[in-house]
Structure formats: C-alpha cells, structure tokens
Amino acid sequence: MAEAEAPIMIERIAAGGDGVGRLDDGRAVFVPRTAPGDRVTLTDLRVHRRFARARLLHVIEPAPERIEPRCPHYVADDCGGCQLQHLDAAAQRGARARIAGDALRRIARLDVSDPVVEPAPSDWEYRTRLTLHADAGARHIGLHPYGRPDRVFELEWCHIAAAPLNRLWHAVRPARRLLPRGLTQLVLRLDRSGARHLIVRAPPAPAWGDGPRLHAAIRAAGAEATVWWEPEGGAARAVAGAGEAFPATVFEQVHPAMGDRARAFAVGELGALAGRAVWDLYAGIGETTVALARERAVVESVESDPRAVALAERDGPPARRLAARVEDALRELRRPDLVITNPPRTGMDERVTRALVERAPERIVYVSCDPATLARDLIRLAPRYRLAAVRAFDLFPQTAHVESVARLERA
C-alpha cells in the first residue's frame, strides 16, 4: 500500500463524510474518518488525475472536535453505516450545514450561507428501520464495511437504531437456521404504533415455510414481531404474527420525530392554504396530504407506490390521490397555486421540473434528502424561481446525510 510522503492537515468535510486535505502537489485527497484540524498520515494512497483518495494511517495531532466513537463496529469493522461518529455533535452539525451550503454555492452557483441545522432531540437510537445484509450462506448477517459492498460483518448492536430493533435482532440471531436459503436481506422495522416487523428477503425458490417457526422462536426469546416474506420480484406478505394488515415495505422516514418536524416546517413555508390548489408530489403514505387538508387546502397527491396510496386512501382525509410516477401523472393534474415536493435522493425527473416551470405555481417548497440533487433541480427551475429560504434538519445524526427544506418563490 502506498503511503503519503509527509503528514497532511485535514481542512474540511466533503459530501459523503470524507475529510479533505492537500497533497504536496496540490491535489485534494479524500480521507474517511478524519476531522477538520486533524494532522494525519495516510495509507492506501490512490492518485487520480485531479484528486486522490487514501485511508487514515495515524492521527499525529487530533482536532479539538475529534472524539472516541461510541460504536465498536465503527472502528473494529470500519462500518459504513455511519461516517461522522469520530466528531462531536456540534462539529457534525457544522459539517452537514457546510455540505448543504457547498452544494448550493458550487453546483447551483448561489450566493448563500450555510443553512441553519435544526438538531435532533437525540443523536442515538433514532432509526426505526434497519436493513441487514447477508453474505453467502448467511454466514454473516449485518452491515457493509465502509466502501466494501461486497463484504458483510456480523452485527452485534447498531447504536443509531431504536433499541426495540436491536432487541428484535438479538432474538432473531439464535434462530438464523430458520431463515431461507439464499437470504439476501433482513429489514427490521418499528412502526408508528411501536409494533415491530421483520421482512425476510430471498430468492423465490425454494419456497420458505419456516416463518411461523421463526416467529415462535422470536417470541420465546422475549420479543414480538410480524414476520414478512418478500421473495425477489414479488410482493411482501405477512406469514406469522400479523394482526391488522400493515404495508411494512412502504417508505417512511427512518427518524419519525425529525421527519414530522421537517414536514411541519415545509407545510408552514407554503403560506396560507385555505382554498388553494396544492400538489403534494412524491407523497409517500400521505402524511403531508393530511397536514395540507387540515389547513383546508384542495390537494392532489402523486405517489408511485400503490401500497402507500392504498394506505393513504384508507387512513387519510379526502383528496385526489394518483398512484403513478410523478412525471407520468402531470398531465392529469390541474394547475396548482402551490407545490410541495419530496423526491427521492435522485431528485426530480427533468420532466417534472419542466412542468413546474410551465405551470408556474406561486411557490414551491422542496424537501430534499440530497443537497446535490436539490442544487441541480434549482438550476432547472431558474430563472422562473429563486431560492428564498432554506433550512436543514438533523434527520441522520452520525452520518453525512442531511435533510433540507427550500422555499422557492416565483420570480
């Protein structure tokens, strides 16, 4: 492994969570698990034309913000689930604010400051969904090391996952012989009522019939969960422990308390809603539609997952709900006064941004889980729309991910 000839100083945290320093030749070098102000030596140096990547060899002088990570997996297994456990909470929030601000300045070419970051009530045990991967033969079930999606280490305890999910995992581990051959993933989920769900993913053949036995083993270990079977290419179905049907595979924020806070802020940024025609795009299970209807808006929502739409129809207020991809549903929607959009990490399809420019609602509130795609979409929406305000929310402590809410005004 190549090593840098001299120590370097880490200057900042980049998108993705790597620290950034400079080599002697001026090239930026990206180094995971480093903090701004660290003086470090490097190993596994890989030099590219315009930048370099390396791994941390030794911290010669630690930054004041550097702390001992709480999770043993972060160091011993180089867990890729978190990127910033080696920074204190204030430094993490500062890094996430700069990641968001840098994207707006560098990609969208906007003259803006780093957004304010609303902190989470707790930096630990907040995730209500935990996806575990299995290697060949399910010899190990757990998470991937950083930058190694081809490998899996055995999980003991995830410190950012809610405690009930960790207890469920500890009940499942001794019964792993009951899991199907070819297991690829286990998804542990905690729903809003506090009920737990275990989603078992594997090839459709051979058929898996041990769901009831696994459920019994989990219960005998002191836990309780509905067991779901989701064969590749098929729909999930409850095979044991189900009470009222719950679509456990539909998307929901993994940090509900902060998701609720971001949603409430986003709805508030729309302004007066009574009698206004509002699009709720990428609507999920309809929580934003509920908030809009409560303010007497006339809502049309679009969501591609029919299970999520069915749940919204069952539990939500009256609204026009379309089960379709947003880019395919646009022609069926009437012209909006206001729009709230919450796209996936990939951002909005270019057909969607084009339609927003053509329909020209007064205001767009964009809920983003990736500052880079937010910045790209702001370019597509300009010059019709200008960025009026942006705020970030700490939905993902210990990681480099940041949720932001941007208010766009028609120019």
Q: Is residue 102 helix, strand or coil?
A: helix
31-65: pLDDT as tens digits: 999 999 999 999 999 999 999 999 999 999 999 99
Contacts of 87 (CB under 8 A, 6+ apart): 35, 65, 66, 67, 95
Residue 58 and residue 156 share a domain: no
Tokens of 278: 């509002």
What's the confidence (pLDDT) of residue 233? 87
Beta strands in 257-297 (DSSP E): 277-281
pLDDT band at 310 (very low <50, low <70, confident <90, very high): confident
Residue 305 and residue 364 share a domain: yes
Beta pairing class for 226-231 and 196-202:
parallel
What's the pTM? 0.93
156-191: pLDDT as tens digits: 999 999 999 999 999 999 999 999 999 999 999 999
User: Shortest CA distance to 16 belongs to which of 403, 399, 374?
Assistant: 399
Q: How far apart are CA 405 and CA 402, in angstroms?
A: 10
114-127: pLDDT as tens digits: 999 999 999 999 99
DSSP H/E element including 72: helix 72-76
7 is a domain residue = yes
For residue 117, which amino acid is it?
A: V
357-407: pLDDT as tens digits: 999 999 999 999 999 999 999 999 999 999 999 999 999 999 999 999 999
Alpha-carbon 250 to chain mean position: 14
Residue 291 and residue 355 share a domain: yes
DSSP H/E element including 43: strand 39-47
| Boundaries of domain holding 223 | 129-240
Please tell me which residue, 137 or 278, carries the higher pLDDT value.
Answer: 278
Label residue 244 exposed, middle or buried (CB < 10 Å: 0-12, 13-18, 19+). exposed
Q: Is residue 27 helix, strand or coil?
A: coil
337 is a domain residue = yes
Residue 350 and residue 287 share a domain: yes
187-214: pLDDT as tens digits: 999 998 899 999 999 999 888 999 999 9
Residue 110 and residue 134 share a domain: no
pLDDT band at 137 (very low <50, low <70, confident <90, very high): confident
Q: What's the angle, vertex CA 268, arms to CA 265 and CA 271, rounded to 5? A: 155
233-265: pLDDT as tens digits: 888 889 998 765 556 777 778 999 999 999 999
80 is a domain residue = no
Residue 138 and residue 50 share a domain: no
DSSP 148: -
Residue 265 and residue 152 share a domain: no
